[in-house]
Structure 1
């Protein structure tokens, strides 16, 4: 099976959904009648992205809001404080039914559906949910990074203040001063409930938890020695390294944490193939689910509340967009689904080692509400000229001074996939597959070499020789 595409050429002068420019958006596109997962992987590694069966690539140095392909490295990913907050909120809602709707903002939009296939959006009317055409979403329309950081600092200050107040009360009671408003109960505090009064004052809760773990390890070691002197036991392996204390939780620790038997809600997931230009493949060495496009359904107590569309490709999971029920936006379903997809990528990697990246679509630094994708780290941005991946930390300083940037610092580096032999490009003409140099000899009318050259430069030498360019 070969990919069959119909190149539509550049399109400019239409409205941008990010800066609201009435005529600032510029992109090139093609219609994919069919496409292999190998070819689409190669295309997204050159800055392309699909909306349904329409595959497009922004003209980066001309469009009003340059869109840089961004990928996360799930194998090294650790959730941030804001990510953990979303995961804890979901667990609390499922286990106890508690939630706070607060000031829920609409989640930011992503790429516009230029000429997307209609059949991919029939699901919207069936589910009666909001269509969110983007790979990720987060409640950051008004709550931008500075506000999130401020909230986290306030929370930490509050926690420290409570610890200090608790210690002050203990000192007051210990001095013999009467107190009718405070009663001391001689029992250890519950985990996470107030300070451990046996510890020194003015210590952060994190340090206290770390100390508790250390004390438990010492107690366990002493108990083991005592038992070993009384009864004969099999030799136990002794760790070569000291145990890591206060090890940060992974996504799996949050997502797959066991709910209590009397949980208020049940969240279930189903996955199945969906309509897409990508041809499904299930090779023996591939992931258990195979390659292709999938709907991931989120069911809450038997009611479907969200559907995420993902592409499972040879080297990555590519998030396409998310449908969600706006009544459940207080659960930050966009963020939660993104974290689940990162965890899913890690699961696939265990079976298929080369599948190790999570593609989040486009990062748009010139649009503040779309910078949230940069919080999923470590992550890389694709250089729009040489198509090499560069850590996002190295790209941000340049993006602060210019909307369009070449990230590759090697001035001599070029696009290694640039087309060197146009004649080897494959064409589908009158139901016959032929190289472009043969097609030119049979062509009648004006030459189309300029538009074919443009297509070849955008898809690269490998894809131009592998995909079939339809010519009428």
Structure 2
């Protein structure tokens, strides 16, 4: 499956949103994002947007404001091919494998592996092979010579398309209630679909495949873990041209002692290696959030500088995090000041420019180069127009507001993606 790089279609630009609450530290200093809904987006351009600090929830694209949020959310990615599992990672994988396979099979496999390696090389090897270890517990990877050996459980890991199923939804509800204390009757299939089943990529996916490492796979997929026929975990993954991006991971709380979250991160790293994808995107990293600190244990990890849009080693950031929760290595970084609590001015901001969002160019730079601006898709007749031709049809007072919103969106998206973007739902922009 391949992607034709057609125009992106975005609509309903929600601009800048600040709220006093924070879902991570639960203070009232506040957090903020800029967001836009995507009707269609190429996987290649989403890769570019991730490298500008964007993430997605369903078809909603959002970029956190690291400067003005009490818990700055840094984009984190791992160089998959250079990853060397730590002792903790190896123990996590081995503990799960031992649970699934049982001691009898583990001992038989170790003898089989040593004999096979010695036959090929003439010597013994004790090296830990991440890909081999990850697949070891799966039924389909059991060598023919060992199929007669008893295994305690049967594990099957398959790649499915992102369609809704009752089994996926049941697992999601159980996870959200246990982990995030959600209320059961407020968890609805529609919200689950919008969050984890919908995507803007509009790609023709395989209905089903076991070959997760196929480099032609692009778009959103669900990786399902079945233990003795029961769904125990689901990884929601974006397959992009040069990476795998983790969207969400849910798992059965009955399996808590086996650290399935860390195990899945190891598995997804191995998957990136199998696909020859240079990077595994682990989502967002908050240095002072204990639930996210485990991501820093995957080496070598890099965080995205919010002003330069360059990745620097996590270790370089950690030293600076001791001084400030907001870090940028630009020559003149923006200054953060949240010690006095939230800034009431931010609640009135509707654009990235008004909020002084890090990493956006000056408005006059975008305004002076019309090529950096998106085009407009008029719903009437589905015709496509330049921004200039649309603006000239508007009343002067509305024209100023609409132009400001387009310039703001172009600044947030960046020139490369903005030039390949059509904006629909223009009535929303006119009234903004």
Fold match, TM over 0.5?
Answer: yes
Choose the corresponding residue for 2:369, options 396, 421, 426.
Answer: 421
Indicate the residue corresponding to 1:75 in structure 2. Answer: 81
Which has more radius of gyration?
Answer: 1
Choose the corresponding residue for 1:292, options 211, 214, 219.
Answer: 219
Contact 1:29 1:57 (8 Å CA) reproduced: yes
Secondary structure of the residue that 1:32 maps to in structure 2?
strand
Q: Does 1:451 align with 2:405?
A: yes
Describe the superposition over 1:418-449 as per-residue Cα deviations: whole angstroms up to 9, x where unpaired: 84624542222333222222222123451222
Choose the corresponding residue for 2:384, options 424, 430, 433.
Answer: 433
Describe the superposition over 1:66-112 as per-residue Cα deviations: whole angstroms up to 9, x where unpaired: 111000011010111111111011111011289xxxxxxxxxxxxxx
Q: Unpaired runs of 5+ in structure 2? A: 1-5, 109-113, 163-197, 207-212, 334-358, 428-432
- For residues 334 and 392 of structure 1, what CA distance do their matches in structure 2 show? 20
Indicate the residue corresponding to 1:4 in structure 2. Answer: 9
Contact 1:395 1:407 (8 Å CA) reproduced: no
Give RMSD over aligned pairs. 3.2
Choose the corresponding residue for 1:280, options 193, 203, 206.
Answer: 203
Q: Does 1:317 align with 2:241?
A: no
Secondary structure of the residue that 2:48 maps to in structure 1?
helix
The residue correspondences of 1:109-128 to structure 2 (distance < 5 A) are none
Secondary structure of the residue that 2:322 maps to in structure 1?
helix
Q: 1:289: Cα distance to partner? A: 4.7
- For residues 29 and 319 of structure 2, what CA distance do their matches in structure 1 show? 28
Contact 2:360 2:411 (8 Å CA) reproduced: no
Secondary structure of the residue that 2:245 maps to in structure 1?
strand
Secondary structure of the residue that 2:419 maps to in structure 1?
helix
Q: Does 1:389 align with 2:338?
A: no
**Which structure carries more helix by proportion?**
2
Q: 1:334: Cα distance to partner? A: 0.9
- For residues 361 and 150 of structure 2, what CA distance do their matches in structure 1 show? 58
Indicate the residue corresponding to 2:287 in structure 1. Answer: 365
- For residues 415 and 17 of structure 1, what CA distance do their matches in structure 2 show? 25
Choose the corresponding residue for 2:156, options 265, 268, 287.
Answer: 268
Q: Unpaired runs of 5+ in structure 1? A: 99-189, 192-212, 225-235, 350-354
Contact 1:39 1:467 (8 Å CA) reproduced: no
Describe the superposition over 1:299-328 as per-residue Cα deviations: whole angstroms up to 9, x where unpaired: 101111111100001111000001211111
Indicate the residue corresponding to 1:253 in structure 2. Answer: 132
Describe the superposition over 1:262-319 as per-residue Cα deviations: whole angstroms up to 9, x where unpaired: 1101111111221322222689xx9445210001110101111111100001111000
Aligned length, in residue pairs: 327
Give the TM-score normalised by the residue count of structure 2: 0.69
Describe the superposition over 1:146-188 as per-residue Cα deviations: whole angstroms up to 9, x where unpaired: xxxxxxxxxxxxxxxxxxxxxxxxxxxxxxxxxxxxxxxxxxx
- For residues 277 and 312 of structure 1, what CA distance do their matches in structure 2 show? 13
Contact 2:361 2:411 (8 Å CA) reproduced: no
- For residues 65 and 414 of structure 2, what CA distance do their matches in structure 1 show? 15
The residue correspondences of 1:6-405 to structure 2 (distance < 5 A) are 6=11, 7-22=13-28, 24-96=30-102, 248-257=127-136, 261-274=149-162, 275-280=198-203, 287-349=214-276, 355-405=277-327
Q: 1:29: Cα distance to partner? A: 0.7
Q: 1:381: Cα distance to partner? A: 0.8
Indicate the residue corresponding to 2:3 in structure 1. Answer: none
Contact 2:9 2:39 (8 Å CA) reproduced: yes
Contact 2:360 2:412 (8 Å CA) reproduced: no
Moved more, 273-282 or 77-86: 273-282
- For residues 103 and 370 of structure 2, what CA distance do their matches in structure 1 show? 62
- For residues 8 and 84 of structure 1, what CA distance do their matches in structure 2 show? 44
Contact 2:376 2:387 (8 Å CA) reproduced: yes
Describe the superposition over 1:34-72 as per-residue Cα deviations: whole angstroms up to 9, x where unpaired: 211112111111000001111111111111111110000
Contact 2:66 2:73 (8 Å CA) reproduced: yes
